[in-house]
Structure 1
């Protein structure tokens, strides 16, 4: 009886420990991402020749002048519920490529990416329809993210106010093609931030807008974390990373050079770059 009671107590303790354990939301396991760039010899020949090239891919790529760009190399990490994680690195280091792969927009060459929930990628180049008004884009963008029409209606004014694009006129009723690049980027962020996300991937969105908008964006990211999401932020602005993230992944030439607390990683990165963001 004593043994059974002890076993039950041990099991309950293990259950409590599991309940308190961090919940993983993204697991990258030795991820390789390779771009193939066609050379001048590609695209010629018959369908039979094309099939032969597929069957003998490596040989055919060399013969056809296809160049392989190894953008991400054996990257592994685990992200947890409630974390805000910065991605830093010099230009061409693979940051945006990695985000696209996590979002499911790019295939991996080898390795695996596992996600708990649906990742949502927000970038300054995210597609909205330039010939439609900002108002119409808010509705379409909300629907694309899985919001109901009722939810969009409830949050519409908050989205417009958050973006600040109506501060100097009724721009929300004008076509998107009349917006500056900063106004369009602010509206994209505002639409994406109106919904709670399992995993939100942000590519340079905080680099746009004035300091007041950046402060609103940083506070919204903190709210998303409190609602149990995970946020990834790619930025060349180290202050935004410091203000927003408690953990940083440093990519360099496609390799994960460092993963750790924000101040520790940024100090190493700034030493590497000579203090430049």
Structure 2
């Protein structure tokens, strides 16, 4: 289990010189859902309404993030915790530029990379081809890909029980695919790396490798955001933690303090 591989030293300290990398300023994110409750066949229903000139279904708005503000700094590893639907993954997607803000703004120094987006995997291609294409998509040269290829395969661990790297991605389990995505994304340094539940896949050895790599990324002057339901992973990797609940920030500070407050809150629910 995770507790069996934890480093008692915990996450390394943040550099004393604070250089902002991400500024989230009073951000609101609203999802617009058309025809909520229509269920399956909504496209067919929509076509029927057009043909019969019927009124469109009601528009439902979901206010997923409600006016959050924080600044992330160079060299930080920031955990995002909270119950399901609290706005953690939505916040990461907004920082990555994949979701627009309804109000407020997000400023970044450098290009944020959301794990699984820059290293998108194609099911009909082999793992080997996905490694090459994923690395090229992140801006590596062919020479860099050749240099890092075997390390990526070894890091992912997908070849430990056979030559899976030569098989199409559609033959992989979801866990194998997630491990390969992380291995590809972590093969280069990032200005801002956004990781959503990647450390929940694989065994303890893979999680330990992932945690060690995140520390290296911080040392290489990046900023790491980690969404995880594993408080152990948050404690081990992150020096700072933000607790989101119902789209608002409940706490932001030193990881041990915030995680303990969150755990005490969950016990009372």
Which bracket does the TM-score occupy, shorter chain normalised? 0.7 to 0.9
8 Å CA contact retained: 1:42, 1:66: no
Q: Per-residue deviation at 1:275? A: 8.5
Task: Look up the match of 1:15.
Answer: none
Instruction: Give the Cα–Cα distance (whole angstroms) in 2 for the partners of residues 217 and 143 of structure 1.
Output: 21
RMSD of aligned residue pairs (Cα, Å) = 2.2
SS in 1 for 2:27: strand
Higher percent of residues as helix: 1
1:148 correspondence with 2:148: no
Gaps of 5+ in 2: 1-15, 39-44
Change beyond 3 A, Cα 1:92–1:153: same
8 Å CA contact retained: 2:126, 2:166: yes
- Structure index of larger Rg: 1
Alignment of 1:106-117 (within 5 A): 106-117=99-110
Task: Look up the match of 1:253.
Answer: 246
TM-score by length of 1: 0.83
Q: Per-residue deviation at 1:153? A: 1.0
Instruction: Give the Cα–Cα distance (whole angstroms) in 2 for the partners of residues 131 and 64 of structure 1.
Output: 37
Task: Look up the match of 1:54.
Answer: none
Instruction: Give the Cα–Cα distance (whole angstroms) in 2 for the partners of residues 246 and 179 of structure 1.
Output: 34
Task: Look up the match of 1:31.
Answer: 27
Q: 228, 236, 244: which is aligned to 1:243?
A: 236
Change beyond 3 A, Cα 1:275–1:214: farther
Instruction: Give the Cα–Cα distance (whole angstroms) in 2 for the partners of residues 131 and 256 of structure 1.
Output: 41
Which of structures 1 and 2 has the larger relative contact order (alpha carbons within 8 angstroms, sep 6+)? 2
Instruction: Give the Cα–Cα distance (whole angstroms) in 2 for the partners of residues 257 and 89 of structure 1.
Output: 9
Show CA shifts across 1:178-221 (max 9, x none): 11111111000000000100000000000000000000000000
TM-score by length of 2: 0.85
Task: Look up the match of 1:168.
Answer: 161
SS in 1 for 2:252: strand
Q: 189, 194, 215: which is aligned to 2:187?
A: 194
Spell out structure 1 runs of 4+ moving beyond 3 A: 40-46
SS in 1 for 2:115: strand
Q: 70, 78, 103: which is aligned to 1:77?
A: 70
SS in 2 for 1:274: helix
Task: Look up the match of 1:9.
Answer: none
Q: 112, 125, 129: which is aligned to 1:119?
A: 112
Count of aligned pairs: 242
